[in-house]
Amino acid sequence: MAYETVLVADAHNVRTITLHRPEALNAFNATLHDELADALKAAERDRAVRCLVITGAGRAFCAGQDLKERLGENELSLGDLLRQRYNPLILRIRTMEKPIIAAVNGVAAGAGCTLALACDLRVASDKASFVAAFVRVGLIPDSGCTFFMPRLLGLGKALELTFTGDALEAGAAQSLGMVSRVVPGEDLMATTMELAQRLAQAPTRAIGLTKRAMNRALSMDLEAALAYETDMQEIAGRTHDHKEGVQAFVEKRPPQFRGA
């Protein structure tokens, strides 16, 4: 399907979704919301897609909500905008049982920062920065920022960044464990694709169940987390890829995972 604000490309079981409103630093307007939701749904349903990469066109990853659109008449209330567009987007990313990498090519501000945080892994260009810009426009951190930021950075740093709206540069984000790798801008997509293709050859079902179990464990006590892990392991144990992994180990050869 052809989109206006999103580009979609496939290579070796990796789907790359590029936010494409470079003139507005890929800020979210209604069209980008609708098209990204559609592209994510399609990626989730397509069994050939075993890893997803989200990145931005031009010099930014995403500048969050399109503030100019907010000046228009008949706009949704902020609550309705979050309920109808942002919250479903973030939930789809967290519940999709495939690895999702944010290739953060430039500034990620406001809801664009949260979008990067909602992904499973972040690879950043040395030109990237993370800005909890909400306070700059008199808002609270939303679209899951209050959930992800303290968990990834600790409460103190999360409060500092959200109270001040100061930018966190890529190197500092890596030191804090928020970003897996920082690379020169020109190497970002090659480095990201190397990681993505490795994950796309991995046992996708086990990775998906790992994501589900870790999501759940964030709000469980140990007893409940152990029980949930056990249920997920029962499922993983019935996959082709588990059998293949064991067989390959015994035969001293690399496994050929199918993702099922």
Kindly tell me which residue out of 61, 130, 134, 148 binds ligand LHQ, with binding defined by CB under 6 A: 134
Count the alpha carbons within 13 Å of 20 in the hemisphere toward its beta carbon: 13
CB 70 within 8 Å of CB 24 = no
Instruction: Please report whether residue 56 would count as binding ligand LHQ according to CB under 6 A.
Output: no
Cα–Cα distance between 142 and 92 in angstroms, integer? 16
Cα–Cα distance between 226 and 228 in angstroms, integer? 6
Kindly tell me which residue out of 63, 96, 178, 182 binds ligand LHQ, with binding defined by CB under 6 A: 63
Instruction: Please report whether residue 140 would count as binding ligand LHQ according to CB under 6 A.
Output: no
Contact track, ligand LHQ, 7-36, x by CB under 6 A:
-----------------xx-x---------
How many residues make up the chain in this entry?
Answer: 260
Cα–Cα distance between 241 and 238 in angstroms, integer? 9
Instruction: Please report whether residue 128 would count as binding ligand LHQ according to CB under 6 A.
Output: no
The alpha carbon of 88 is separated from its chain's Cα centroid by a whole number of angstroms, namely: 13
- Based on CB atoms, which residue is closest to ligand LHQ, 123 or 133? 133
Kindly tell me which residue out of 57, 131, 168, 207 binds ligand LHQ, with binding defined by CB under 6 A: 131
Q: How far is the CB of 204 from ligand LHQ (least distance, A)?
A: 31
Instruction: Please report whether residue 93 would count as binding ligand LHQ according to CB under 6 A.
Output: no
Kindly tell me which residue out of 6, 14, 40, 81 binds ligand LHQ, with binding defined by CB under 6 A: 81
Could you count the other beta carbons within 10 Å of the beta carbon of residue 253? Answer: 9
Q: Are strands 51-56 and 100-104 parallel, antiparallel or unpaired?
A: parallel
Q: Are strands 129-131 and 167-169 parallel, antiparallel or unpaired?
A: antiparallel
Query: Which stretches of the chain bind ligand LHQ, using CB under 6 A?
Result: 24-25, 27, 63-68, 78, 81-82, 86, 107, 109-111, 131, 133-134, 136-137, 139, 142-143
